């Protein structure tokens, strides 16, 4: 019984990895990826479910990256602004500019 469960997990993980590779690295569409999984012997329903789950995971990862860009961008921008306004003799325009760019990059990516 235990061997069957391990084998099922290996096969399932193989199909998920294959679908992720097709979608991310080979820039294939969901339709093409689903067809490739069906050609490997999966049913249409299971292949569709795998592709859907992988697409959801990809979207969540992109959203998380955009959120981190916004947070770190805001921290750099605020830090640079505070240090500049503290009048310690330097203008931290690099930190302000970098933070602003990173924040807006994250904002744009989170909305797309």
Q: Rounded to whole angstroms, how far apart are CA atoms 60 and 14?
A: 21
Does residue 93 surpass a pLDDT of 50? yes
For the whole model, what pTM was predicted?
0.74
Does residue 2 surpass a pLDDT of 80? no
**Mean pLDDT across 70-84:** 95
Q: What pLDDT sits at residue 10?
A: 59
User: Which tokens belong to 35?
Assistant: 């067809």
Q: For residue 70, what are the domain limits?
A: 2-111
**Mean pLDDT across 24-46:** 91
% the chain with pLDDT above 70: 90
At residue 4 the predicted structure's pLDDT band, cuts being 50, 70 and 90, is: low
């Amino acid at each position: 019984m235990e061997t069957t469960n391990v084998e099922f997990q290996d096969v399932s993980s193989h199909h998920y990895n294959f679908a992720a590779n097709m979608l991310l690295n080979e820039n294939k569409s969901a339709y093409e990826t689903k067809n490739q999984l069906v050609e490997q012997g999966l049913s249409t329903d299971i292949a569709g479910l795998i592709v859907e789950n992988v697409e959801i995971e990809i979207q969540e990862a992109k959203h998380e990256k955009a959120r981190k860009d916004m947070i770190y961008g805001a921290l750099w921008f605020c830090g640079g602004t505070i240090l500049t306004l503290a009048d310690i003799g330097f203008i931290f325009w690099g930190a302000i500019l970098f933070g602003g760019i990173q924040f807006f990059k994250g904002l744009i990516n989170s909305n797309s």
